[in-house]
Structure 1
Amino acid sequence: MIEEQGRVIALEPGVVWVETLRKSTCSGCAAKNGCGQGLMDRLGVRERRGTIRALSDLQLQVGDSVVVGIREDVLLRGAFLVYLLPLLMLFAAALL
């Protein structure tokens, strides 16, 4: 499971809005010049806050610290749908 620390900023019935702090990983990476994150780091977009809408049945309050998690298989399925499926469709269309 991939996890990220966050803070509750708003509540709705069955849903919480969580604010996370994005961190740069460019300090330890050897591919700084060929990476989009490295470009964003050079442009000054370093530590920006991200907002996530998460389902929750817990009794949380605004300001509570939480850990948001996503399963690896869900992440891989999403990456497949976003990146590989359009590429496969492009090749199929080219063959037709």
Structure 2
Amino acid sequence: MALNISYFAWVRERMGTADEVVDLPVGITDLTALLSWLAARDARGALAFAEPHRIRAAIDGVMMGPGAPLAGAREVALFPPVTGG
């Protein structure tokens, strides 16, 4: 399944790109598995996702939790926690 992943703030800086299109391997079916897979791909991913509990995610524009399924998703946005003010 092809998936567009967008990275924001320090996640983008650590990944070295704002977005990418990936073909997910079989078995990557939820956000937790996606973060683990991204962390295992290379040193940039390992740095960006060393603390996956700090990452926030939106699937197709809707905020989701760690176990959210990826079935049918076209885009995942990954970013650190944000504050307003």
TM-score above 0.5: no
TM range (shorter): under 0.3
Q: Which has the higher strand share?
A: 1
Q: Which has the larger radius of gyration?
A: 1
> Could you state the TM-score of these two structures normalised by the residue count of structure 2?
0.26
- TM-score normalised by structure 1 residue count: 0.24
